[in-house]
Amino acid sequence: MSDCIFCKIVAGDIPSKKLYEDDRVLAFYDIEPKTPVHFLVITKDHIKGALEISEENSRLVAHIFEVIAKLAAELELGAFRVVTNNGPDAGQTVFHLHFHVLSGGVLGEMA
Ligand code: AMP
Ligand code: ZN
């Protein structure tokens, strides 16, 4: 999608601090980290958000969680939180499916 910032990152038109990439997903550090370690795992395909997850594409989400587990082990995160915001009222600002991985220090309670 031409006006999507994450599609531009996937295409290499906008630089990112990449952690992992394969044919389906990309992981890179968040530009405005909310915790000492904060990266995003996104689909390479443009999927608007969690509401668009379906029987046809849900294997991608399973793959994203495999990648999160691999990166969490490699980075020795120990405790971490995975978040996806769906819709502006939930804090979604980029409308391309992504999972935040937040770690470092004590995260405190949420949900
Ligand atoms: P959300 O608000 O849940 O849609 O998450 C979007 C996230 O993307 C925010 O945490 C932003 O800081 C992050 N972000 C926006 N632009 C970039 C960028 N160019 N590189 C890395 N992270 C970005
Ligand atoms: Zn996109």
Which pLDDT belongs to residue 62?
97
Q: Is residue 101 a contact partner of residue 69, using CB atoms and an 8 Å limit?
A: no
Q: Verify whether ligand 1 is closer than 6 Å to residue 86 (CB atom).
A: no
Residues 66-96 pLDDT 10s: 999 999 999 999 899 999 999 999 999 999 9
Q: How far is CA 98 from the centre of its chain?
A: 4
Using CA atoms in the order 90, 5, 53, 34, what is the torsion angle rounded to 10 degrees?
A: -40
Ligand nearest to the CA of 33: 1
For the question of whether the overall pTM of this predicted structure is more than 0.75, the answer is: yes
Q: Verify whether ligand 1 is closer than 6 Å to residue 93 (CB atom).
A: yes
pLDDT reading at 105 higher than 90: no
Q: What is the mean predicted confidence (pLDDT) over 27-44?
A: 97
- Kindly state the percentage of the chain with pLDDT values over 70: 99
Which pLDDT belongs to residue 80?
97
